[in-house]
Chains A and B, each alone.
Chain A
């Protein structure tokens, strides 16, 4: 099952923060992690994750650093900042309240 881009886009920030909770990752790894953990249900247009990552970094939710790789291109790893962790907690809370509200409305249908 795949969701529409618009639906995923609204959750992109929370998804990224969530997968980075367990440790730093590089861009492709984040995409793959989200796809794996959602059992392939959540698949980004892969290019669109980079504007999101850059924006979150600009907002101070993430920090990044380059890690040299032997025989292949260097990787840029992202990790949560304390602000990112707080944003994740708030995001989870908001999402739960939001989904609860949505579920409540939908259950009446």
Chain B
């Protein structure tokens, strides 16, 4: 008999389509009704079979009753505030904390970018903390809930849902880190220099992703976890969350715009003023001269007219401002400032003593370096690059100062190749070039290297693959791609392999040695971020390098530790370690004649006495372009 009542009641409840609590109540009430009616009929002497029929007849159509109940509850439904919150309390708190954390996550980098580290970069610990804290609190909410305030079933739901959210946030962390990693990669490094803009966009993207995931989780949870919760209530709830998310995104957009606007105003409407890159260091006697450059518009391979340069002393005194680049005469060790407008090129010596107007360069390429002047000082060999590819394969030009003409058929006896690596250095003999052409023929481990000695004045080869031209492979730090080409009389050349671009960049770094002076090459921040940086002490037979072991790029480690190491007699010794923000690498290395090493890491220049290993602050370069560098004492 009870089964018959269950069928009847079940039909009513099913037709009513009400939330679980309301359905339970109706079920109880109808069970009571059927029991009382049944009992009353039994007292009247009715048989069970009769009772069933009487109850069914007197009750009416259960589907109709259920529908009426449904309409009544729908009609008078009030937007519940307390009830769902009991279910969603952990979710609400989790959401509130998550929103707060995301806001903080957004604001803190902005503060960092504006006031502390304009180049961007926020310690990973912050990112992790701002995500983990709400997650831990959410777990606490769920556990606390499970401990008492709600019944076991609701508590389990809450904990399951909180766990679900935590999983979502874990996904968020991954996506965030990937996004930061993306922005931090060298190919976008100059974008990263703008710091705030990049960070803001990433944060907005992350917020959107996170909230999208939260909404998705809410909908899934509503469907599969809180299945019995009234769908209309759930939809309203979701709608509120959606509105909140939209509001938050709007807030993020407004905040970004306002911060960018502030940045423009604060910097005289020059968004890049504070984003200068320390591109080069040279020396005037004991005093270092820094070349600071900004690039606008942002591009990976800026042309000269997109670069604004300043020469500044360590005390911040600006020596020269304009659109120029710094190149070196590898023969005379002179420094030229190259001003290039379209094809017209002007060379100016650093001290302004000599200005050479080269006229129209027979190419639209940019000059990236003066390789050398000839013995007569009347010819200049310049390398250019086409703005797309690396410098190594691009055209070489000779300018005859006497005739004021360009020559393109330089090195015509040398089978320059587009597929191999051409390295050009100045030999000890004035006016002679050592040219090494490395080809791999598909076997990267066994390159074929041909060597040529070329006289620039006579434009002829004077030696080919002779012993004096022998090459060796030093591979000082385990990077097999590093190749050195020591030539006659201590002249040498590095072929630098950029681990990120997986390409050899050689010509820009062709540097002659001179006697016992430690040699360093200058890295381009646009080309060698994350690459290999090394220099060689020809007199001591030591190789030095700054490798990015444990760095952001190569080992996917969020801690950005740089190592200055010395390799001697097969032993590698760490001289200096320092840590900078993710994505930052020392842009410039330089040595003075006292064997003091300057490491400049985006504005903070530190001098290291190689003999004692002691470091000292050399300069805080102007314009807040400093990434905080934590030096690790040895």
Given A29-B36, A73-B28: A47 touches B12 (CB 8 Å cut-off): yes
Interface string of A24-67 (1 = CB under 8 A from B): 00111100100000000001011110110011001100000010
B410 within 8 A of A: no
Say yes or no: is A75 at the interface (Cβ < 8 Å to chain B).
yes
Query: In the complex, what distance in Å separates the CA atom of A98 from the CA atom of B76?
Result: 28
Q: Are A74 and B60 in contact (CB under 8 A)?
A: no
Determine whether the beta carbon of B59 is less than 8 Å from that of A46.
yes
Residue of A nearest to B12 (CB): A47
Distance in angstroms from A72 CB to nearest chain B CB is 6
- Which B residues are CB-close (under 8 A) to A76? 25, 28-29, 32
B33 within 8 A of A: yes
Residues of A within 8 A of B73 (CB): 54, 58
Flag if A58 contacts B33 (CB, 8 Å).
no
The residue that B35 contacts in the complex, of A43, A50, A55, A73, with Cβ under 8 A, is A73
Residue of B nearest to A60 (CB): B76
Q: Choose one: B25, B32, B59, B75; the contact of A47 (CB below 8 Å).
A: B59
Task: List the A residue with the shortest CB-CB distance to B65.
Answer: A47
In the complex, the answer to whether A50 meets B29 with C-beta atoms within 8 Å is yes
Cβ contacts B30-48/A at 8 Å (1 or 0 each) = 1111011101100000000
Q: Is the CB of B58 within 8 A of A72?
A: no
Q: Are A54 and B69 in contact (CB under 8 A)?
A: yes
Asked whether any CB of chain A lies closer than 8 Å to the CB of B413, the reply is: no
A50 near B58 (CB under 8 angstroms)?
no
Asked if B58 and A48 sit within 8 Å, CB to CB, the answer is no
Question: In the assembled complex, which residues on chain A have CB atoms less than 8 Å from the CB atom of B58?
Answer: 43, 45-46
Cα of A72 to Cα of B62 in the assembled complex, Å: 23
A63 to B426, CA, bound (A): 101
For residue A28, which residue of chain B has the nearest CB?
B36
The residue on A at minimum CB distance from B76 is: A58
Cα separation A75 to B32 with both chains bound (whole Å): 6
A74 to B30, alpha carbons, bound, how many Å?
A: 10
> Residue of A at shortest CB range from B58?
A46
- Give the size range of B's interface with the partner: 20 to 34
Bound state CA distance, A45 and B57, in angstroms?
A: 8
B37 touches A46 (CB 8 A): yes
Answer whether residue B68 sits at the interface, using C-beta atoms and an 8 A cutoff. yes
Chain B residues, CB < 8 A from A74: 28, 32
State the CA gap A28–B55 with chains docked (Å): 12
Is A45's CB under 8 angstroms from B35's CB?
A: no
Interface contact B30-A45, CB-CB below 8 Å = no
B60 engages A48 (CB within 8 Å): yes
> Contact partner of B60 among A46, A55, A59, A69, CB < 8 A?
A46
**Of A43, A50, A59, A72, which is within 8 A of B30 by CB?**
A50
Q: Which residues from B are CB-within-8-Å of A59?
A: 76
Interface flag for B61 (CB, 8 Å): yes
Q: Are B68 and A28 interface neighbours, CB within 8 A?
A: no
B72 & A47 in contact (Cβ 8 Å cutoff): no
Query: Across the interface, which residues of B come within 8 angstroms of A54, CB to CB?
Result: 69, 72-73
**Most chain A Cβ neighbours within 10 Å, of B12, B59, B64:** B59
Tell me whether B32 and A45 are in contact (CB under 8 A). no
With contacts A46-B60, A47-B59 taken as known, whether A27 is within 8 angstroms of B33 at the C-beta atoms is: yes
Give the complex CA separation of A36 and B442 in angstroms. 105
**Minimum CB–CB distance for A70 against chain B, Å:** 13
Residue of A nearest to B22 (CB): A54
A46-B60, A72-B35, A73-B35 known; A27 and B76 CB under 8 Å?
no
Q: A51, B60: Cβ atoms under 8 Å?
A: no
- Which one of A28, A32, A43, A46 contacts B32 once the chains associate, using CB atoms below 8 Å? A28
Q: Decide if B208 is an interface residue (CB 8 Å cutoff).
A: no
CB-CB under 8 A from B61, the residues of chain A are 45, 47
> Which of B28, B30, B35, B36 has the largest count of A CB atoms less than 10 A from its CB?
B36
Assess whether B242 is interfacial by the CB under 8 Å rule.
no
Instruction: Give the docked Cα–Cα distance between A72 and B32 (Å).
Output: 8
Asked if B26 CB lies within 8 Å of chain A CBs, one says: yes
B59 and A45 within 8 A (CB): yes
Alpha-carbon gap, A55 to B32, bound state (A):
19
When distances are taken between beta carbons in the complex, the residues of chain A under 8 Å from B65 are 45, 47-48, 50-51
Kindly provide the distance from the CB of B130 to the nearest chain A CB, expressed in whole angstroms.
Answer: 46
Q: Which residues of A contact B28 (CB under 8 A)?
A: 66, 73-74, 76
Closest residue on chain A to residue B68 by CB atoms: A51
How many Å from the CB of A85 to the closest CB on chain B?
20
**CB <8 Å contact, A55 and B72:** yes
Q: For B59, give the chain A residue with the smallest CB separation.
A: A47
Name A32's closest neighbour in chain B (CB-CB). Answer: B40
Mark out the residues of chain B between 47 and 88 whose CB falls within 8 Å of any chain A CB in the assembled complex.
58-62, 64-65, 68-69, 71-73, 75-76
Closest A residue to B73 by CB, please name it. A54
Centre residue among A29, A43, A45, A46 by max chain B CB count within 10 A: A46
Min distance, Cβ A81 to any Cβ of chain B, angstroms: 15
Which A residues are in CB contact (< 8 Å) with B31?
Answer: 73
* Docked CA distance A36–B62 (Å): 24
Check A45/B29 contact, CB under 8 A, given A28-B37, A59-B76.
no
- Chain B nearest CB from A108 CB (Å) reads 37
**Structural contact, B69 and A50, CB atoms closer than 8 A:** yes
A54 to B22, CA, bound (A): 11
Instruction: Collect the chain B residues with CB atoms within 8 Å of residue A43's CB.
Output: 58
Residues of B269-323 contacting chain A, CB below 8 A: none
Q: 17 extra interchain contacts, Cβ-Cβ under 8 A, other than A45-B65, A47-B60, A51-B68? A: A27-B33, A28-B32, A28-B37, A28-B40, A45-B60, A45-B61, A46-B33, A46-B58, A47-B64, A51-B71, A55-B76, A72-B39, A73-B35, A76-B25, A76-B28, A76-B29, A76-B32
List 26 contacting pairs A-B, 8 Å CB cutoff, sorted by A: A26-B32, A28-B32, A32-B40, A45-B65, A46-B33, A46-B58, A47-B12, A47-B59, A47-B61, A50-B29, A51-B69, A51-B72, A54-B72, A54-B73, A55-B75, A55-B76, A58-B73, A58-B75, A59-B76, A66-B28, A72-B35, A73-B31, A73-B32, A74-B32, A75-B36, A76-B29
Closest 6 CB pairs of A and B: A45-B60, A58-B76, A51-B68, A47-B65, A28-B36, A73-B32
